[in-house]
Amino acid sequence: MPAPSTRLLGLLLALAAPLSWSVGGVIIRSVEAGPWDIVFWRAAGHVLCFPIVLWWLWGRSALSDLRAVGRPALAVAFFMSCTLVFHVLAMTRTTVANVLILQSMSPLLVAILAWILLDERLRASGWLILAVAFAGLALVIGGSLGGGDISGDLFALAVAVFSAAHVTLIRRHRARNLAAVTLPAAILAIAVSLPFAQPLVVSLSDIGLLILLGGVQMSFGLTCFILALRYLPAAEVTLIALLEPIIGPVWVWLLIGEQPALTTIIGGAIVLGALAAYVLLAARRDRGTVTP
């Protein structure tokens, strides 16, 4: 059990991560830049800010860990860059609520990939939770059919899939610190977006907002999340991270006026409830009382 002061620091860091991530929808909805321009400048903000944080916290050890992992680190960078691109494409094609809820499926998809690739088997309760979550997922996507935003939902689901892929690889190499892999991932996202973007046409105010988004949402949020794992159990940090798909749509509703559909609210509640149940069971398993 962490000491009270250590635990408080861990809680503050764990809360700061989803709070910083949750502003993404508001900023993306507030700028007039095209989706590829958003990908470019958001990733550029991370490339500008994160090396300072990386060097300050981990120094050369982060880069040496990256080199030691080798080719799997390149795969992690590729999968992560896919999430950076598809997240923005999803945000510009469907509601923020749909995007964040569909992306929140990632931890459950990690459970499936870990079962297939890492031989970390699920018990009956785990499969039941997955079935309930996918029922909620079907409700969210079903509400978009015929509404013109199904492509955005599919992009958001792709984010969950690619995120689960890179998390599973990081988990396989968990003895190494792979925080530095976000830099080549962001550089790759910039390279992919460049043929389709017109970054110099974007207004200076929008560029400033998007660079700020990269620094706050990616560099700061990611750092807080990684540091929180030093002070709190992973299951607890993951549970607190569920605040992002809850708070994100609220910001957009209050500041932009984008109200989630009823099917999104109901389906999202099912998904988040199932994910919370999975995380809590995982925490009990780690204490040796239950194996989901």
**Kindly report the CA angle at 188 between 182 and 194, in degrees rounded to 5?**
135
What is the torsion angle, in degrees rounded to the nearest 10, for the CA atoms of residue 243, residue 246, residue 247 and residue 253? 170
Rounded to a whole number, what is the distance in angstroms from the first to the last CA of the chain? Answer: 22
Instruction: Print pLDDT tens along the chain (292 aa).
Output: 455 567 788 888 988 988 999 899 899 989 999 999 999 999 999 999 999 888 888 887 877 877 887 888 899 899 999 999 999 999 888 888 888 888 877 777 877 787 777 776 666 776 777 778 778 777 776 765 555 568 888 999 999 899 888 878 877 776 777 888 889 999 999 999 999 999 999 999 999 999 999 999 989 988 888 888 777 766 667 767 777 888 888 888 888 887 777 777 788 788 778 777 776 776 666 555 444 4
State residue 283's pLDDT score.
63
Name the packing angle between helices 262-286 and 96-103 (round to 10°).
30
Every domain of the chain and the residues it spans:
4-286
The letter for the amino acid at 242 is: L
Query: Residue 90: phi, psi to the nearest 5?
Result: -65, -45
CA 65 to chain centre: 22
The Cα-based distances of 178 to 61, 80, 139, 183 in angstroms read 10, 12, 35, 10
From 275, 269, 271, 264, select the one nearest 94 (Cα to Cα): 264
